[in-house]
Amino acid sequence: MRIGLPEQGRHVKQLKISPLVLHTVAKKTEHGMHDLTCLIKGCQAKVYAPAGTHSICREHFLNYLTWRRRKGPQMFMKYAGMTMEERDPLVAEWANTIRVEEVPTASAPKT
């Protein structure tokens, strides 16, 4: 789509508007592979969103949003102005609140 701007002298400027496209860049590990697993240890879910320079699955992302919301509205304003690297300490603080529960194995039936 092209939009004509008001005439300036004899030239009419044209502005090309294209749709906004957002991209998420996956972090590369030292072996050149993309970090496509959730940051939380033991979680094998597909990544959903960035968390600092890492990625997390949808379930953990929603948990992270809830944690930030509980910190207060100022957390969202502060977080929005941070770079990905500056967000890492907050992500680490949140990740420490996650309790990993191991699924019991069926080694011996209880009687």
Q: pLDDT for 56-79, tens place per residue?
A: 999 999 999 999 999 988 888 888
Using one digit for the tens of pLDDT, what is the confidence trace for 22-35?
444 444 444 333 55
Burial of 88 (0-12, 13-18, 19+ CB in 10 A): middle
Cα–Cα–Cα angle for 67, 74, 94, nearest 5°? Answer: 25
Give this prediction's pTM: 0.59
Alpha carbon distance 79, 65 (integer Å): 11
% of the chain beyond a pLDDT of 70: 58
